């Protein structure tokens, strides 16, 4: 009686190596996708934080004025800020009801709308858009 030698044939070893290489390639692709998503997320977070900081600074050191400003953040992202005097639509006054608080607004107060566009991400440019309203005391026309 002849005993068969135990072990794997060359074909079985090659099939196992091919299967292992295929699984490894799928894993690498998933990892590279996750790294790309993490980099895009970090860039978005940085752009959003810089944009929020820029909006927060408006009206602190100099009075708000209607117009357009442009600039560049330290990381290379570019921004454009549009400021305009904002007049909210007033609801009609209904007889028998008190006047809207918005109708009495205006005694020395201006409301500005700030629209900020931030372009980031280099050649595959992405954009963040933020808008807010900011209240400011009416500026004397004689001031520069």
Question: What are the distances in angstroms from CA 52 to CA 20, 56, 115?
Answer: 48, 6, 11
Under 8 Å between Cβ of 50 and 82: no
The reported pLDDT for the residue numbered 142 is 41
The reported pLDDT for the residue numbered 48 is 92
**134/2: higher pLDDT:** 134
Render pLDDT for 18-73 as a digit per residue (tens, 0 to 9). 999 999 999 999 999 899 889 888 889 999 999 999 999 999 989 999 999 999 99
Question: What are the distances in angstroms from CA 62 to CA 73, 131, 137?
Answer: 20, 19, 12
pTM: 0.66
Render pLDDT for 92-123 as a digit per residue (tens, 0 to 9). 766 666 665 555 555 688 899 999 999 998 66
């Amino acid at each position: 009686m002849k005993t068969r030698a135990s072990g794997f044939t060359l074909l079985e070893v090659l099939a196992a190596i091919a299967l292992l290489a295929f699984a490894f390639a799928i894993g690498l692709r998933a990892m590279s996708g996750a790294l790309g998503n993490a980099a895009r997320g970090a860039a978005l977070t940085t752009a959003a934080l810089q944009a929020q900081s820029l909006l927060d600074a408006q009206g602190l050191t100099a009075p708000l004025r209607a117009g357009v400003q442009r600039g560049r953040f330290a990381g290379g992202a570019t921004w454009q800020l549009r400021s305009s005097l904002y007049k909210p639509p007033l609801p009609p006054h209904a007889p028998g009801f008190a006047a809207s608080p918005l109708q009495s607004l205006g005694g020395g107060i201006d409301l500005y709308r700030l629209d900020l566009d931030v372009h980031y991400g280099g050649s595959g440019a992405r954009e963040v858009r933020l808008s807010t309203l900011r209240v400011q005391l009416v500026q004397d026309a004689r001031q520069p």
